[in-house]
Structure 1
């Protein structure tokens, strides 16, 4: 089962996604995916992982970490499927990051690894754009790298855990303007999802709607205004986003 949050005619709805990505409203109406505005399917805190893929750490000439390198993303940085993200004026390198995201379904505190997946509502995916110009240290990412408004597409939906029987064996891919740029597998994660739930819940309570973005494999490239970026996680979904300029993004926001 797939669960989504959408906006239609000014109203926000929580819906089930049916065949061909159509969604059904509570009143029974069935809407095509292009008739709705897709919203991030969860809105809690996002705990994101740096250097959590061995191939990506090697790509950047870093040693694999011995403990999760985690940072928090603010909800204002989220945007939805088929929405736009902006590239700041004057930066030299902005790249995508295709990531599997685990969504917490119930309060989780001091969870053991063997029980960890029981605390999930399901899985989604994100594109964790990074503004590399402001990256002072991979071990302590600067807020300006990862927390700008609408620079983390999330969605389009949450997939039940039962529909993703083994999250450790999923293929991740990214296309830019139809060209495959990134391909990897969750098998290369250094810290897998059960480990991460046990780790975070050992010192804090994870709440329903919180998300754990599990990192990205190698294969990063710069993106510019006009680019269409598509990230996909096998068995979870496909998330489309378009890059616009800073001026276009904020001019459109002012008109809303």
Structure 2
């Protein structure tokens, strides 16, 4: 967002150096803005380094769906977790512990870019849901990222994102999406050996959660968390 504001004001900034990773093709979900049913589709990743999703290092390339380069630049994301209980999964707990230890020793371990990526990851809007029928939807449990554009001048508003996804629990408000919205799933370890996000395919049963808001309200129960790790990272004066 800041890059587009600077460009509008005539200011120039150095182009970020993008480390190119081999593309990966995964199965994600598309929620079309034209009201046609949500569906699974293959998505191929591209390397990134100039948006709020930098910490993933590679993300689904959605430019062919959002048409304009401006809509691609004005993208954002948020996260939700589908859980079988109210506890934070062990893999996430371990990752949070390791990240917080690194921040405590940040002068020794982390460079400025790594610190930025941690801030992006943990200050990201995040929701957690308890899946009541978790035996039926076992392969749907896990962590997801919702990718959307806020290019209001380039894309039509998307009125078909399920309410349980668009609601911001912390702010008690709803997000506004423009153009097609996409959902992808992250593997339990979240990060691969090369340091970039490790994705996995979305299970077809996930589409059940996108059909009927009333039914989903009985299946997906929001879990409200006091996110101390976000408070800690957000309060660190590292810039």
Higher strand share: 1
Range of TM-score over shorter length = under 0.3
Length-normalised TM-score, structure 1: 0.26
